[in-house]
Amino acid sequence: MTAARPDFRSSEFLRAHSREIMAFYDPVATDPDGGMYHFFLDDGTVYEQRTRHLVSATRFVVTHAMLYRITGEERYRRGVLRALWFVRTAFLDRASGGYAWLIDWHAGAATPLDATRHCYGMAFVMLACAHALQAGVADARGWLAESFEMAEQHFWQADAGLYADEADSGWTLTGYRGQNANMHACEAMIAAFRFTGEHRYIERAEQLAQGICQRQAMLCGGWVWEHFHADWSPDWDYNRHDRSNIFRPWGYQLGHQTEWAKLLLQLDTLHPAPWHLPCARRLFDTAIEKGWDQAHGGIFYGMAPDGSICDDSKYHWVQAESLAAAALLALHTAEKRYAHWYERIWDYCWTHFVDHKHGAWFRILDGANRNHTREKSNAGKVDYHNLGACHDVLMALQAHDKQRL
């Protein structure tokens, strides 16, 4: 049964819901042998104890830091310390400076299952260090600089003004290039500048945003496409027939259009540029126009190059990033239509995605909003996007000296 509809526009609701999301993980996530478990069923049952993913591990740092910022409660700061210790202890190859993508953690020891170096993973290491620094972990400043310099050394491509995506454990790059790693690197650079004041981070964030949202988008019909060849020409066929790849899906990802809209507005508050707001509006407006399901509500997952919906699934993160983008657009423009979309998306999520019985959000629904899996959180989820949306709207309200949208 759906809980009574709250006031989605109020800071009080956003703080309360942030606590409710983390309350799902708090009682079940901690592994006494170190770190946190990463795989949970809807009722909180841990269905895989030993496999650990770099994205989940780093996102646990970020979510605890966000809760600490929102509440000031020491238990969340302890969560930051525990999660960051695990990232540094279990995933970091101190000889090469790289982080394993996937490990087996057993009896306090890590065995790499996939030692591939992903820029996507490095972006989240940087984001975790930045948030940990803001939560009072002084050593995180050096670790942030260390991971930034490692990404610059091995992934940065000056000619393209973007990061390459993937390398083997010896740092030999593959030919794949992707926007997703660059988007999250931009997110990490925004946080790094916000919490350190070092201009190299915000300058890199601006360069990444321009590279993806302007130059690469111009090659792809004005939209953010996911996959590129080594020369940064669009790869229109990469993973075309693989709907299961959660980090490299085929098609225009409607949630990535709105996520970039959010990031552009966050970037603009720190490093204003005249192109940020118009681009953010265009990405959000067109994604909602093409992606909103008029029959069942919610935003579809993927759109093919011809404008047809190629994946009508509803993913939790797409809705969360979209409502955050709508809120920031409402605050930046004072246009009521964005506040309307914020409330409309929230109302859909409250009805279909928020698990009012066990807590947190469901992961994926079909086109008719039916849940076909018992997995509440698989690799990478840990409700980072959902808690992050609440956090980002709260921080934007605070910046505009408001308690509600």
Q: Give the number of other CB atoms < 10 A from CB of residue 21.
A: 23
**3-state SS string for 262-299:** HHHHHHHHHCCCCCHHHHHHHHHHHHHHHHECCCCCCE
CB under 8 Å to 365, separation ≥6 — which residues?
298, 313, 314, 352, 353, 371
- Whole-angstrom Cα distance, residue 22 to residue 32? 18
**In sequence order, what DSSP letters do the residues of 136-167 get, joined into one string?**
T-TTHHHHHHHHHHHHHHHTEETTTTEE--EE
125 to 87, 90, 145, 273, 335: CA distances (angstroms): 8, 13, 11, 27, 36
- Name the packing angle between helices 140-154 and 119-134 (round to 10°): 160
CA–CA dist 247, 166 (Å, integer)? 12
Residues serving a catalytic function are 256, 385
